[in-house]
Amino acid sequence: MTSTPSRRAFLRGQVNETLRQRPPGAAAEMAFHDACQQCEDCVEACPEGIIGVDEKGLPFLDYTKGACTFCHACTDACSYDALSPEREFLWRGAVEPSCLSMNGVNCRTCEDHCDERAIGFQLQTGGRAQPVLDEDLCNGCGGCSLACPVGAISFKQIKPKTEARS
Ligand code: SF4
Ligand code: SF4
Ligand code: SF4
C-alpha cells in the first residue's frame, strides 16, 4: 500500500501537485492526507462508482465516470475524520476557453445536463455564446463536465461560507 504523505512533507512542498477533488465531506487537503487511512471504504460505498484512488492511494472524485448525487454514502462509510458530514463541498464548475460555444460552434450540452440550472448563455458577436456558470446555484456535481464533448469544464474551490471544522 502506498504510504500517506505527512503534513510536514506537504508543508515542505513535497505534495504540491494540482489539488484533486476529494469526496464530499473531505477535510482540507493537508488534514485529509493525515486523516485518510487509504482503506478505500468510501470507494466501495459509492453507488455511482465515481471515486477513484490517486497515485498516493487517496480517494478522489473521477467525473469521467459519472456525476455525484451527494448521497453521502462515502462520507458515512468513512471511519476516520477524513470525511465528515459537517464539512461543505467547496468545488464549483468553471468553463475553459476551449468551450465550443465560445469558439463559434453551437453547443448547449452543459446547460442541458445541469439539474441545478446553474448554466446560462450570453450571446456574443460572431455567432459565439459565452456560457455563464452561477457559482451560487452550482453544487459541483460534475454533470456538465461528464457531458461536455470537449472537456471544457474544470473545477475550482470556493471559500467556505461557514467555518470548516478541520
Ligand atoms: S456523495 Fe454519493 S455519489 Fe457522491 S462520491 Fe459520495 S458516495 Fe459517490
Ligand atoms: S458542453 Fe462544453 S463545449 Fe458545450 S457549451 Fe458547455 S462547456 Fe462549452
Ligand atoms: S457542476 Fe453540476 S450543478 Fe454545477 S454547473 Fe455543472 S451540472 Fe450544474
The pLDDT of residue 127 is 74
Residue 129 CB–ligand 2 contact under 6 Å: no
Cα–chain center distance at 42: 15
Residue to probe by mutation, ligand 1, list 21, 22, 50, most atoms within 8 Å of CB: 50
36: left (phi over 0), alpha (psi -120 to 50) or beta: beta
Nearest CA to ligand 1 atom 7: 46
Model confidence over 65-102: pLDDT tens digits?
Answer: 999 999 999 999 999 999 999 999 999 999 999 999 99
Question: 25 near 83, Cβ under 8 Å?
Answer: yes
Give the distance (Å) from ligand 2 centre to CA of residue 102: 8
Domain end point (choices 50, 77, 104): 77
**Backbone φ and ψ of 75, nearest 5°:** -60, -45
Residue 93 CB–ligand 3 contact under 6 Å: yes
Examine residue 163 and state whether it is found in any structural domain, yes or no.
Answer: no
CATH assignment of the domain containing 149 = 3.30.70.20
Model confidence over 117-165: pLDDT tens digits?
Answer: 999 999 888 778 899 999 999 999 999 999 999 999 999 999 887 654 4
The pLDDT of residue 66 is 97
CA distance 32 to 28: 6
CA distance 141 to 154: 12
Residue 100 CB–ligand 2 contact under 6 Å: yes
The pLDDT of residue 28 is 94
C-alpha cell at 133: 456558470
Atom of ligand 2 nearest to the CA of 121: 5
C-alpha separations of 102 from 51, 80, 135 in Å: 31, 44, 19
| Domain, as residue range, for 60 | 7-77
Model confidence over 4-31: pLDDT tens digits?
Answer: 444 444 444 444 457 899 999 999 999 9
Residues 69 and 100 in one domain: no
- For the chain, what is the domain count? 2
Residues 99 and 55 in one domain: no
Which ligand approaches the C-alpha of residue 131 most closely?
2
Residues 114 and 149 in one domain: yes
Examine residue 85 and state whether it is found in any structural domain, yes or no.
Answer: no
CA distance 132 to 130: 6
Examine residue 105 and state whether it is found in any structural domain, yes or no.
Answer: yes
